[in-house]
Structure 1
């Protein structure tokens, strides 16, 4: 089982390469949401998302001969770009299986950092088949979320936030595969804080998995939250079963409204996946009203909007 100590060690390991991202406050946002919101701006992280933390930590754990071999992954965009960015720093070639319907902006980010892209069909079945084939060929796989080194790296965002603001009542993060949320849960528990995950209603397999006690397959990719359209992994599921306070759901319409609200209050145009957290604070005042809440703004790799 992953531990808080592994996350603290990851923070030390990546400190020289990852940014300690700022925490933004907005009185206007607080008023709109009815609580005190502390935005951990991982949209300002290297490669534009929190994913750089886990990718960097995972690559730093490889032996020199493994780094020289290169690594393989699958990604809708942010993990692939993060792994390629970290690989460029460390001299590791990165190959990414990318769904044909992936965001053009996120695809260009991966190419910008030197990733080799292999097109695959959308959906979990195609992802798993691609990785199985690569594994048979002897590739070193760095998965997007279901790996101890990835989870430990992702948890460092929450660690920085609670180190700076230990008085927070709780944390809120998006939930896709669970790497960010499971790492954040372990950090929150160390600081005696609550930790909530947020999923789109159209991609609610994580909440279903926790309610049913076994991992459910990803739902059809219909939500605008492209970074959250994946099922839980065995590592993340095990942690969330023990540690998460709750998983709440939001609609795509609420996510779009939350994106606009954050833009109006902070000037930041964030990804729909990131905006799920703000949508949740708005939808569930019975949970979050008048609380001091830390929110992981997971990414900003989205075309700008005026």
Structure 2
């Protein structure tokens, strides 16, 4: 089991080689949740993830012979880029084993950082066989989480948080394989034994809670936007640390993670991936649990697919009634589209797109329906737009658009 001395030693190794990211209070999120919220911006690391800390601490420990033989890692995400980047900086040859279905952008980014990428198998389980063969050939494994040096490196993050914001009484930390949580738990409890440690997992991947609570039947699978913590089995070594040091656990739904990603973009003006928003998702899900406390959240990464981010942000506009789908019944005659547009414009709405439907057999052949996607300020403004249309003599139905 790692100790505070291991984490302090890791901090000396990492000094000047990874960013000491800011830990700042969020006024808006504090007001929204009722907690005093502080954010650790690990998404500002060079590879946009905390994974650099553990990877570099492990790489720096290698003997000359191990450096000559090179390293291997298995990852389809942030760990791959962290190992590739710091191995390249240190002149160490690195090979990253990825499943064949890994998104092209992740493969390209890892190669651009200097690693040799080996594509093998359709998932990480199948890729593991190739990784193990490379270890047998003499390469050193840089495990993404189940390694004391990796755990100690990740723990430096909590040391920085408590140095910058010593008043924190609660840390909410995402749990995937457990490397971040285990390192942060030892660091935080060693500095402040009374601090409250909460491990947060996606509802579909609550592996740590399943292991600790003795409920192996809990779900571990399915789609999630928090891929960084979508781990079916927590690490053997990390689990022992988590079992001893972590006070509480939270399981958050996908809807809360999605909302948290959108809030951080809109409130803090920074990008986070699903795993990076999990801590805020826990606050949003159970605000009474943290009300009045000084809470530290780790924005642990920002490597979210741009198409997914666009979808999340657009869906949030719909949920906040800032994009509204209206179906307006009109006569299929000249001038009616203009009258609808005028009513919406006079109410302060903005038509984003409109589709003229004439083929709905439930309507008279001389009638039509306008499907309009309208931009509004909020729900109250959307209702004012609807009222304006109805006062102009139109029948309006709140529709369900393709993005809802």
The higher relative CO (CA closer than 8 Å, separation ≥ 6) is in 1
Confirm whether residue 36 of structure 1 aligns to residue 53 of structure 2. no
Structure-2 separation of matches of 1:118 and 1:226: 21
| Matched residues, number | 305
Q: Does the CA-based 8 Å contact 2:96-2:115 persist in structure 1?
A: yes
For 2:81, the equivalent position in structure 1 comes to 81
1:1-306 alignment to 2 at 5 Å? 1-190=1-190, 191-192=192-193, 193-212=195-214, 219-230=220-231, 231-304=233-306, 305=309
Kindly state the Cα deviation for residue 103 of structure 1 after the two structures are TM-superposed. 4.0
For 2:367, the equivalent position in structure 1 comes to none
Deviations 1:20-46 (A, max 9, x none): 011232211111222111111000012
* Structure 2 residues without counterparts, runs of 5 or longer: 311-404
Q: Does the CA-based 8 Å contact 1:105-1:302 persist in structure 2?
A: no
Structure-2 separation of matches of 1:118 and 1:188: 38
Q: Secondary structure at the match of 1:47?
A: coil
Q: Does the CA-based 8 Å contact 2:21-2:44 persist in structure 1?
A: yes
- Provide TM-score, normalisation by structure 2: 0.72
Structure-2 separation of matches of 1:217 and 1:282: 22
Q: Do the aligned partners of residues 218 and 87 (structure 1) sit closer, same or farther apart at CA in structure 2, a change above 3 Å counting?
A: farther
When the two chains are superposed, the root-mean-square deviation of aligned CA atoms in Å is 1.9
Deviations 1:138-176 (A, max 9, x none): 221111000011000001111100111111011111110
Q: Do the aligned partners of residues 195 and 102 (structure 1) sit closer, same or farther apart at CA in structure 2, a change above 3 Å counting?
A: farther
Structure-1 separation of matches of 2:276 and 2:29: 15
Kindly state the Cα deviation for residue 221 of structure 1 after the two structures are TM-superposed. 5.0
Kindly state the Cα deviation for residue 125 of structure 1 after the two structures are TM-superposed. 2.5
Structure-2 separation of matches of 1:120 and 1:210: 32
Q: Does the CA-based 8 Å contact 1:105-1:301 persist in structure 2?
A: no
For 2:337, the equivalent position in structure 1 comes to none
- Provide TM-score, normalisation by structure 1: 0.94
Structure-2 separation of matches of 1:236 and 1:284: 26
